[in-house]
């Protein structure tokens, strides 16, 4: 069972005040810490578990500058066999459609039974690259996958629906699944583990090797673009209740009663 996992390096934004950069379309990056996209981490772990159970290889692919090798090294330390990085200044500003097109160009030369991606990326959150890639490759896909059971050339996958519901699909391989967080518990990667793979070769590809022209990628090749980004508008209707605990409780009860809640 040969598995390919597409991963992305993203900024950690949960605990940070974000600032718009001078282009108005991106974030100021200087104070940001980057790491592997959370969903992708689960996908890498799942791929390594499949390899441990059924044999075969795991290859990870990312698109990005030299710094993106951090997330590839991390994957290698986790048990991945091969790492590929696509890099080209022209890919800057690519939308999900273009990223999928680039990944498809890489994957056409790699044998695989299964492709895994995260459901979506922490940064742009398009939830688009996985299924678009499956369409380019002409293979079946399932999104929001929370369990994979492989039986010969087929798999039973469970996918998450809204309202606590799930569905089980029977999918023929090769196929692409987008992995929901929580599908497994990713193993701990020690500094020592990452050091051990520090010398491991990472295959670096550029657009010309992939047979893609700069016009087909980046903003020019994209189907959509970001015109501007801005912080969410703040609703000014918040009302602060002041007074002692009993007083505030009475005011809250009053508001609830007026609103017909109680």
Partner 1 sequence: MGEILVLVEHRKGEMREISFEMISKGQDLAKKTQTELTTVMLGKGVVAKADEIKRFAHRTLVVEDERLTNFNSEPYQAVLTSLIKDRNPSLVLIGHTAFGMDLAPALATAVGVPLATDCYEIEVQGGDFLPYRQMFGGKMCAEIHFREAPCKMITVRSG
Which residues bind to partner 1, rule: CB under 8 A? 11, 13-14, 18, 20, 27, 96-97, 100, 119, 122-132, 134-136, 140-144, 159-162, 167, 169, 222-233
Buried b / exposed e along 189-217 (16+ C-beta atoms within 10 A) = beeebeeebeeeebeebebeebebeeebb
Nearer to partner 1, 26 or 193 (CB): 26
Give the number of other CB atoms < 10 A from CB of residue 174: 18
CB of 25 to partner 1, least distance (A): 8
- Helix 96-107 to helix 129-137 angle (10° resolution) is 40
CB of 170 to partner 1, least distance (A): 11
Buried b / exposed e along 2-24 (16+ C-beta atoms within 10 A) = bbbbbbbbbbeeeeeeeeeeeee
Position of tokens 């044998």?
A: 111
Q: CA-to-CA distance for 139 and 137, rounded, in angstroms? A: 6
Distances (CA, A) of 150 to 1, 154, 171: 10, 6, 10
CB of 253 to partner 1, least distance (A): 28
Nearer to partner 1, 188 or 230 (CB): 230
CB of 168 to partner 1, least distance (A): 12
CB of 241 to partner 1, least distance (A): 26
Nearer to partner 1, 26 or 56 (CB): 26
CB of 20 to partner 1, least distance (A): 8
Q: How does strand 34-36 pair with strand 9-11? A: antiparallel
């Amino acid at each position: 069972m040969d598995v390919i996992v597409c991963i992305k390096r993203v900024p950690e934004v949960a605990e940070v005040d974000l600032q718009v950069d001078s282009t108005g379309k991106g974030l100021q990056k200087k104070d940001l810490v980057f790491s592997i996209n959370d969903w992708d981490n689960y996908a890498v772990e799942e791929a390594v578990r499949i390899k441990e159970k059924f044999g075969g290889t795991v290859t990870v692919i990312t698109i990005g500058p030299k710094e993106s090798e951090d997330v590839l090294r991390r994957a290698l330390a986790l048990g991945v066999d091969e790492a590929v990085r696509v890099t080209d200044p022209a890919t800057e500003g690519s939308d999900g459609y273009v990223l999928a097109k680039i990944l498809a160009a890489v994957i056409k030369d790699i044998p695989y039974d299964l492709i895994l991606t995260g459901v979506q990326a922490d940064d742009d959150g398009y939830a688009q690259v996985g299924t678009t890639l499956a369409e380019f490759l002409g293979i079946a896909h399932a999104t929001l996958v929370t369990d994979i059971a492989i039986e010969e050339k087929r798999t039973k996958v469970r996918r998450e629906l809204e309202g606590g519901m799930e569905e089980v699909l029977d999918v023929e391989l090769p196929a692409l699944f987008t992995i929901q967080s929580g599908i497994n518990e990713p193993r701990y990667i020690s500094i020592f583990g990452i050091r051990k793979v520090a010398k491991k070769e990472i295959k670096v590809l550029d657009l010309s090797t992939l047979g893609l022209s700069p016009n087909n990628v980046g903003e020019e090749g994209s189907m959509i673009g970001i015109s501007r980004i801005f912080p969410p508008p703040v609703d000014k209707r918040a009302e602060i209740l002041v007074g002692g605990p009993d007083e505030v409780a009475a005011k809250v009860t009053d508001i609830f009663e007026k609103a017909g809640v109680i």
